[in-house]
């Protein structure tokens, strides 16, 4: 038997639970990678890589989500809707609140910034790197996906003075033809040529129950249970594309600072950390036991192997055994994305993934050739210790973050 229906195997209820998990795991990609960058390049080098990866990825995936959910536009509302579906701003963990004054002016603030909670203990220099050096160019890169004349500027931001200042930060958004559009960087253009930018995903059935798009008013929060099953499948696929685009931007930025072997080593460590944490969060969010059957389901929806239109793989459960085959001829392979970091000599990301479901699981290579990589999952008597890369990622408060039901969202601005 082969399992590869991916998100289509889940109920509407489970998809509504999974989508915010995928958004949060996308944000944790940086928590997984940044520590390794600091070791290699220092704090300033880490910040430069972060700027380049987000600048490279966010304009492309922002436009993809706009088109998928039918809220394309050139106003502040469109910018804010995009932030609600962005791995850079996962709901509640990065608790963005919005106010729209008119289509060209608005504000947002963070009642809670999980990223700040992670970085603040490191001191003001690291806070300034994140909240000034990284945020200034990357917020604008996100905004220009909607309108080249949009600017996002701080009202106040950390380091916090006083130390308990709330909200954690606040920003204005304004659109004015007099604003000079920023020039698209060479690294953004580079990622724009990847297959991930144009891959076609599952169409949304507009005849089903629930919301099929995000047209209409800007809402205070997105309650994903209000969306149709078909729309949630597409949203989940788009979020996984966001993961891959960010990882491609990360790898390209590291390559500009290190030789190929070192760049792949650092990116593999990034993948190992997030693969393990994401697997564990998916298992827990869906209430799964630590069985091979559960691992098959986690593999089928894990961002490393999704969306299926971009990453080709097969999950082959057979009674008390499980095999995983990963193609070497998918669109992601043409881009040089995450799966290309895997091989018989580099199994750490997959070990972290399967052990995120059960520490007694381990993977071994059955066969490897130009067509693909075939692996089997074995069960060991003793549990494996948690790997360093997963432990580093779990330093983030996001690794243990719990979402809550906030009830019916309120309309903030009618388009």
Residues 377-396, mean pLDDT to the nearest whole number: 96
Distance CA(91)–CA(94), nearest Å, equals 6
Long-range CB contacts (within 8 A, 24+) of 282-286: 282/18, 282/21, 283/356, 283/357, 285/17, 285/18, 285/21, 286/10, 286/14, 286/17, 286/18
Residue 251 in this model has a pLDDT that exceeds 80: yes
- The reported pLDDT for the residue numbered 1 is 42
Distance CA(6)–CA(87), nearest Å, equals 20
44 pLDDT band, cuts 50/70/90, is very high
Distance CA(89)–CA(342), nearest Å, equals 29
What is 121-176 written as a DSSP string?
GG-HHHHHIIIIIIHHHHHHHHHTTT-TTEEEEEEE-SSPSSTT-SSSEEEEEEE-
The token pair that represents 344 in the structure block: 């018989």
- The reported pLDDT for the residue numbered 4 is 56
Spell 138-165 as b/e; 16+ CB within 10 A means b.
bbbbbbbbbbbbbbbeeeebbbbeeeee
Comparison of pLDDT for 317 and 348, the residue scoring more: 348
- The model's pLDDT over 58-112, given as tens digits with 9 standing for 90+, comes to 999 999 999 999 999 999 999 999 999 999 999 999 999 999 999 999 999 999 9
- The reported pLDDT for the residue numbered 319 is 76
Cβ atoms of 177 and 150 closer than 8 Å: no
Residue 3 in this model has a pLDDT that exceeds 60: no
Distance CA(109)–CA(131), nearest Å, equals 13
Long-range CB contacts (within 8 A, 24+) of 183-187: 184/59, 185/52, 185/55, 185/56, 187/52, 187/55, 187/56, 187/249, 187/252, 187/253, 187/256
- The model's pLDDT over 326-343, given as tens digits with 9 standing for 90+, comes to 999 999 999 999 999 999
The token pair that represents 363 in the structure block: 């993977």
């Amino acid at each position: 038997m082969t399992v590869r229906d991916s998100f289509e195997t889940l109920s509407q209820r489970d998809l509504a639970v999974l989508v915010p998990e995928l958004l949060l795991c996308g944000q944790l990609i940086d928590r997984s990678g940044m520590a390794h960058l600091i070791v290699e390049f220092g704090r300033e080098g880490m910040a430069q890589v972060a700027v380049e990866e987000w600048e490279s990825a966010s304009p492309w995936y922002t436009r993809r989500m706009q088109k998928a959910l039918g809220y394309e536009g050139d106003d502040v509302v469109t910018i804010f809707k995009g932030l609600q579906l962005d791995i850079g701003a996962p709901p509640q963990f990065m608790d963005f609140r919005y106010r729209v004054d008119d289509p060209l002016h608005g504000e947002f603030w963070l009642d809670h910034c999980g990223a700040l909670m992670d970085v603040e203990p490191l001191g003001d220099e690291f806070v300034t790197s994140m909240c000034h050096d990284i945020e200034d160019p990357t917020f604008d890169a996100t905004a220009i996906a909607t309108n080249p004349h949009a600017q996002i500027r701080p009202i106040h931001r950390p380091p916090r003075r006083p130390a308990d200042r709330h909200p954690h930060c606040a920003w204005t958004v304004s659109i004015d033809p007099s604003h000079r559009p920023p020039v698209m960087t060479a690294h953004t253009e580079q990622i724009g040529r990847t297959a991930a930018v144009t891959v076609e995903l599952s169409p949304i059935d507009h005849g089903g129950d629930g919301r099929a798009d995000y047209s209409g008013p800007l809402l205070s929060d997105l309650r994903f249970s209000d969306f149709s099953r078909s729309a949630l499948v597409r949203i989940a696929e788009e979020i996984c594309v966001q993961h891959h685009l960010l990882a491609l931007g990360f790898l390209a930025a590291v390559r500009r600072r290190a030789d190929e072997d070192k760049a792949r080593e650092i990116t593999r460590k990034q993948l190992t950390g997030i693969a393990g944490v994401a697997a564990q969060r998916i298992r827990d969010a869906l209430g799964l036991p630590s069985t091979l059957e559960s691992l098959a389901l986690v593999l089928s929806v894990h961002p490393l192997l999704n969306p299926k239109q971009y990453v080709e793989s097969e999950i082959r459960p057979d009674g008390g055994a499980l095999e995983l085959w990963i193609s070497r001829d998918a669109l992601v392979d043409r881009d040089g994305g995450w799966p290309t970091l895997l091989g018989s000599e580099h199994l750490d990301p997959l070990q972290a993934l399967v052990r995120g479901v059960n520490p007694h699981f381990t993977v071994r290579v059955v066969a490897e050739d130009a067509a693909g990589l075939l692996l089997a999952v074995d069960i060991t008597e003793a549990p494996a210790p948690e790997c360093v890369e997963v432990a580093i990622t779990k330093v983030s408060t996001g690794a243990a973050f719990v979402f809550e039901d906030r009830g019916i969202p309120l309309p903030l601005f009618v388009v």
